[in-house]
């Protein structure tokens, strides 16, 4: 019954004065796919969503929903004819209307009445676990319940494409977790195509088939959560996704199994790299699980020890580079302690030459040690 609602963006660009909010973005979202869009504040996420919804007209490029071009050089389909469901970060409920009034609003606008109207409102409320709440007003609901009303209002139109802009941003940790589960269940049930904006990487990783990472209006990488974590395309992605460090190294020789031998100030290691990686300077992304405390390895000094519940995060200074690792209970060192760190794995960031400027090649604590903790 449902229409095909894949999404194709080609060279989509939007400028506000001298700001290029969205810069030549190419993305293909398969029908039924859950795509998360992740990136720092101001990188263009909301503008991208507004372009897809039709609230903004692109300055360049083409945007198609299913097989229909909705924005292009000579085409512009208005938002109400794109048949997309949208959930904004601020729930934007009408305070004077009941829950039922809010959820049914798009149906009334579309002229749906009587039994069909009541049945669809009931079904939408049931799907977000709010059966029986129809007579309440938004002020009589918790934040999470309001968020679910906003979701029900989107679901009631049975959209085949849903756009969600940080829908969980205002919720506490526990509510976020349960709403995350609801989004996952909803997606599994409907197979609606979802574009889900967040700046929370753990949320993106938990929900999405693929994640598009944006930076300065551009999409820098679109990949599965696992690939983003293990094989970041740029230094920005490496620092933004997961914990870890970026270490300037020299790629020396190719080894078996697509790996390369690298040398850095404090030793050598065998690490992963993209096929065809040539010798020369590079940036090594090392995650906590790529490091081991041992008898051999680079000498370092413990700088910081943070208990994370279960494991303990330890930052070790090794020749001016801060490496982040995770140690189990019972093996926790103390600040100032000397130890040796072996690099057992890592990934050579396949960065363009301009990504290797000293500013990014140097360790950036704020980026590389950013927490992956879901409780953040
Ligand atoms: N209507 C507008 N007029 C002028 N500039 C705008 C407008 N909307 C957005 N911008 C600018 O475009 C850029 C991208 O904004 P956008 O809202 O898309 O970012 P975002 O990634 O959603 O950020 P956040 O995570 O903070 O919500 C920013 O520099 C912003 O200031
Ligand atoms: Mg935004």
Report residue 183: phi and psi, to 5°: -60, -45
341 within 8 A of 297, measured Cβ to Cβ = yes
**Helix, strand, or coil here: 252?**
strand
140-155: burial string, b at 16+ Cβ within 10 Å, e else:
ebeebbbbbbbbbbbb
Residue nearest to atom 6 of ligand 1 (CA): 16
CATH number at residue 311: 2.40.50.140
In terms of C-beta density within 10 A (0-12 exposed, 13-18 middle, 19 or more buried), how is residue 137 classed?
middle
pLDDT of residue 178: 79
Residue 71 lies in a domain: yes
Q: Whose CA is nearest to atom 12 of ligand 1?
A: 21
Ligand whose nearest atom lies closest to the CA of 216 = 1
- CB of 294 closer than 8 Å to CB of 305: no
- Whether 46 lines ligand 1, by a CB cut-off of 6 Å, is yes
Compute the distance from residue 217 Cα to the ligand 2 centre, in Å: 12
Phi, psi of 206 (to 5 degrees): -70, -35
* 3-state secondary structure (DSSP) of residue 14: strand
264 alpha carbon, distance to own chain's centre: 31
The answer to whether position 233 is within a domain reads: no
Q: Could you tell me if 195 and 327 lie in one domain?
A: no
CA of 38 to the centre of ligand 1 (A): 14
Q: 347 and 208: one domain?
A: no
- Same domain for 28 and 171? yes
pLDDT in tens, 162-183: 999 988 877 778 778 877 887 8
Alpha helices (H) in the chain, listed in sequence order: 45-53, 99-109, 114-127, 143-155, 173-190, 201-207, 225-230, 235-240, 358-361, 365-368
> Residue of the nearest CA to atom 3 in ligand 1?
16
Q: Do 261 and 115 share a structural domain? A: no
Please indicate, yes or no, if residue 304 is contained in any of the structural domains: yes
Distance CA 323, CA 301 (A): 10
Q: Enter the pTM of the model.
A: 0.85
Number of structural domains the chain divides into: 2
Per the listing, tokens 């057992």 go with 344
Residue 186 in 3-state DSSP?
helix
| Residue at a domain's end among 192, 226, 260 | 226
Q: Residues near 158 by Cβ (< 8 Å), separated by ≥ 6?
A: 2
Tell me, in angstroms, the distance from the centre of ligand 1 to residue 350's CA: 29
49 inside domain: yes
The pLDDT score that the predictor gives to residue 40 is: 92
**CATH number of the domain within which 120 lies:** 3.40.50.300
Which domain-ending residue is among 177, 198, 226?
226
257 and 217 fall within a common domain:
no
Q: Is residue 118 part of a domain?
A: yes
Indicate whether 238 belongs to any domain. Answer: no
Q: Identify which ligand lies nearest to the alpha carbon of 22.
A: 1
φ, ψ (nearest 5 deg) of residue 230: -85, -30
Beta pairing, strands 84-87 & 161-165: parallel
207 and 263 housed in the same domain: no
Residues with CB under 5 A from ligand 2 (ion): 46
Q: Give the 3-state secondary structure of residue 70.
A: strand
Strand ordering across the sheet containing 338-343: 291-294, 338-343, 298-307, 311-318, 321-328
d(Cα 30, Cα 102) in Å, to the nearest integer? Answer: 31
Could you tell me if 238 and 246 are in contact, meaning their C-beta atoms sit under 8 angstroms apart?
yes
71 and 103 belong to one structural domain: yes
Interval between CA 19 and ligand 1 midpoint (Å):
9
- For position 3, what pLDDT does the model report? 67
Whether residue 213 is found in the same domain as residue 317: no
With a 6 Å cutoff on the Cβ, whether 326 touches ligand 1 is: no
> Looking at the structure, do residues 158 and 192 belong to the same domain, yes or no?
yes
264 plus 162 within the same structural domain: no
State if residue 51 touches ligand 1 by the CB under 6 angstroms criterion.
Answer: no
Domain that holds residue 292: 243-368
Residue with CA nearest ligand 1 atom 7:
16
| Nearest Cα residue to atom 30 of ligand 1 | 42
Answer yes or no: is the C-beta of 19 below 6 A from any ligand 1 atom: yes
Kindly give the parts of the chain with pLDDT less than 50: 1, 353-354, 356-376
- Give me the pLDDT at residue 362, please: 39
Q: Is the CB of 16 under 6 A from ligand 1?
A: yes
In tens, the pLDDT along 140-151 reads: 998 888 888 998
Angle among Cα 10, 23, 47 to the nearest 5 degrees reads: 90
Ligand 1 contact via 43 beta carbon (within 6 Å): yes
| Number of Cβ atoms within 10 Å of the Cβ of 353 | 7
In a domain, 95, yes or no: yes
Question: In this structure, are 255 and 183 located in the same domain?
Answer: no
Residues 77 and 122 in one domain: yes
Q: Is 47 in the pocket of ligand 1 (CB under 6 A)?
A: yes
**Model pLDDT, residue 28:** 96
DSSP string, 290-340: GEEEESSSEEEEEEEEEE-SSEEEEEEEETTEEEEEEEETT----TT-EEE
Q: Which of 369, 10, 17, 24 is nearest to 216 (CA)?
A: 24
Given 197, 226, 255, which residue is the final one in a domain?
226
DSSP three-state, residue 76: strand
Residue 120 lies in a domain: yes
């Amino acid at each position: 019954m449902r229409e095909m609602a894949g999404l194709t963006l080609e060279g989509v660009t939007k400028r506000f004065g001298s700001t290029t909010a969205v810069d030549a973005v190419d993305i293909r979202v398969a029908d039924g796919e859950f795509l998360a869009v992740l990136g720092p504040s101001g990188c263009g996420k909301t503008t991208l969503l507004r372009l897809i919804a039709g609230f903004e007209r692109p300055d360049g490029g083409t945007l198609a929903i299913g097989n229909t071009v909705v924005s292009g050089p000579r085409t512009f389909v208005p938002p109400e004819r794109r048949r997309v469901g949208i959930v904004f970060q601020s729930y934007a409920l009408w305070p004077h209307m009941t829950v039922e009034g809010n959820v049914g609003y798009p149906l009334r606008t579309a002229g749906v009445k009587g039994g069909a109207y009541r049945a669809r409102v009931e079904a939408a409320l049931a799907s977000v676990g709010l059966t029986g709440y129809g007579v309440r007003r938004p002020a009589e609901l918790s934040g999470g319940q309001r968020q679910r009303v906003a979701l029900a209002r989107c679901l009631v139109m049975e959209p085949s494409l849903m756009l969600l802009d940080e829908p969980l941003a205002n919720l506490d940790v526990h509510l976020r977790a349960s709403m995350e589960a609801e989004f996952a269940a909803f997606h599994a049930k409907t197979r609606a195509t979802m574009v889900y904006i967040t700046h929370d990487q753990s949320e993106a990783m938990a929900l999405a088939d693929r994640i598009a990472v944006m930076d300065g209006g551009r999409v820098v990488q679109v990949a599965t959560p696992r690939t983003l974590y293990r094989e970041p395309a740029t230094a920005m992605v490496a620092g933004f996704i997961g914990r870890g460090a970026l270490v300037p190294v020299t790629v020396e020789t190719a080894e078996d199994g697509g790996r390369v031998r690298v040398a850095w100030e404090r030793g050598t290691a065998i690490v992963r790299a993209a096929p065809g990686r040539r010798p020369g300077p590079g940036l090594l992304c090392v995650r906590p699980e790529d490091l081991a405390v041992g008898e051999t390895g680079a000498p370092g000094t413990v700088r910081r020890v943070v208990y994370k519940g279960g494991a303990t995060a330890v930052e070790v200074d090794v020749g001016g580079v801060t490496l982040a690792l995770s140690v189990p209970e019972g093996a926790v060192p103390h600040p100032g302690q000397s130890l040796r760190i072996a690099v057992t794995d890592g990934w050579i960031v396949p960065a363009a030459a301009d990504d290797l400027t000293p500013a990014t090649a140097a360790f950036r604590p704020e980026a590389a040690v950013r927490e992956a903790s879901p409780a953040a």
